[in-house]
Amino acid sequence: MTAVAPWSPCRAEPPGNASGGAAPRYVVDPSWPQKPDEFTWAAMPGIAVDARDNVYLFTRSRPSVQVYRPDGALVRAWNTENPPGAHHIEIGPKGNVWTTDFKNHVVQKYTPEGKLLMTVGEAGTAGDDQRHFDGPTDVAVLPGGEFFVSDGYGNRRVVRFDASGEFVKQWGREGEGPGEFALPHAIAVDSQGRLYVADRGNARIQVFNTEGKLLDVWENLIAPWGFHMSPQDELWVCGSSPERHKVEGRWSVVPPPDQLLMKLSPQGKVLLRVPLEKTATPPGKPGELNWIHGIAVDSQGNLYLGDIQGHRAQKFRPQ
């Protein structure tokens, strides 16, 4: 295991108004996972952790879903229907696996072993209605089975479905105003039913109730790419610092200016800020990331991060 040096930007920073002990340092485990030689990785947009701390990797290669234990041992692997469209992956309250395919315009529900249970959207057909998506990015599932999809690359909306996959309602449109989206890139739900939407192109997080009522807008914190909701309703966010493009005036998102993690309270208070080392030439050294996209945190506080340009998943232990 390679330690992060004391000067490294992978050292966590408590916010200025935080109290208590020192923030943790994180060290990368370069031996994790023990990927079989015949497996390949491409862009690594999605990572999720189940109730047993098994780590699900979602990569744009085959096998597209790879499951590893915390010690790095392979548990199982299987393919989704269209690996190049892999985006975020989530574990539902009942342990089922949810994937979004932004190129094939579908959201799919699988058993942990990879049996397909449900497809929402029409594969290969984009649209902006009750039966179609256009570049969906993520899904958030309620305990009763209802789920919400951030339909983001082509459309700019959140869509609500019942447990059987029937349309219930939608909200959102393109724009910069409250409740509007530039790109809803990820979505998460807490134990109180609050929905958090990563409005990446507007460098903000918007909070809604399940009916679509806007509750809060968190701006000037982070340009969010991926979410992980903790059992304590603390929202982990990966992305980059919110910076305006010097010439065009828009938010600098792609390529990101840096690599950043944050842990936020349900009220949007910054609990922890973790700058990460960005590599200049992918894949870089262990501990470096390039276009961080996916984040998951296990019950022991280990961070699992996936990036697009680096083509890998990495594990970071708190110290």
Please report whether residue 221 resides in a domain. Answer: yes
Q: Residue 170: what pLDDT?
A: 98
Please report whether residue 64 resides in a domain. Answer: yes
What are 276-292's pLDDT values in tens digits?
A: 999 887 668 999 999 99
Q: Residue 7: what pLDDT?
A: 29
Please report whether residue 13 resides in a domain. Answer: no
- Whether the per-residue pLDDT at 168 is higher than 60: the answer is yes
The answer to whether 205 and 198 have CB atoms below 8 angstroms apart is: yes
Please report whether residue 18 resides in a domain. Answer: no
CA distance 151 to 187: 10
Please report whether residue 222 resides in a domain. Answer: yes
Please report whether residue 14 resides in a domain. Answer: no
Taking the CA atoms of residue 290, residue 259, residue 47 and residue 99 in that order, the dihedral angle to the nearest 10 degrees is -80
- Whether the per-residue pLDDT at 13 is higher than 80: the answer is no
What are 229-267's pLDDT values in tens digits?
A: 999 999 999 999 999 876 677 888 889 999 999 999 999
What are 14-41's pLDDT values in tens digits?
A: 654 344 456 789 999 999 999 999 999 9
Please report whether residue 21 resides in a domain. Answer: no
Please report whether residue 133 resides in a domain. Answer: yes
CA distance 141 to 146: 6
Residue 33, preceding bond cis, omega within 30 degrees? yes
- Residues whose CB falls within 8 Å of the CB of residue 189, separated by 6 or more in sequence, listed in order: 140, 141, 142, 148, 195, 196, 229
Q: Residue 247: what pLDDT?
A: 64
Query: Can you give the CATH number for the domain in which 260 is found?
Result: 2.120.10.30
Q: Residue 2: what pLDDT?
A: 41
Query: Which domain range does residue 170 map to?
Result: 26-318
Closest CA to 35 of 296, 302, 313, 303: 313
How many domains, in total, are found in the chain? 1
